[in-house]
Amino acid sequence: MSTPKPIIQELEAARPAPEFPEFRVGDTVRVHVRIVEGTRERVQVFEGVVIRKRRGGNRGTFTVRKVSYGVGVERTFPLHSPRVEKIEVAQYGRVRRNRLYYLRERTGQRLLLVGCLLPAGALLAPTL
């Protein structure tokens, strides 16, 4: 893999990383996204299972999947986007894969992952 160009490294170093809780593939997260509609701004919450995490650093992305009214919806978020206001971990999931694309074919009860519920104060723990 090639190394990033010096100007990209400077831009990445200039922007501080936001503090989000640590999450992994298989966790159920709530992503608070700022949406602009005309002159108005509002925050929309997208809750689902993390099916993929890609790269680290400032250019990392993660994909969240949820089922809304029987239709599967996936959204990919840049980890350090100014539009992502907050990420909350609702439930930690225990999976043995790095990519959970097999969840696309599952429906109903088969869609649920083995997980553990969090204590109330665990949502605010920042990533180191």
Could you tell me the domains of the chain? 22-103 (2.30.30.790)
- Looking at residue 120, what is its pLDDT? 47
Burial class (CB in 10 A: 0-12, 13-18, 19+), 72: middle
- The predicted-structure confidence for 21-77, as pLDDT tens digits, reads as follows 889 999 999 999 999 999 999 999 999 999 999 987 778 899 999 988 988 999 999
Q: What does the alpha-carbon distance between residue 39 and residue 33 come to, in Å, rounded to a whole number?
A: 16
The reported pTM is: 0.77
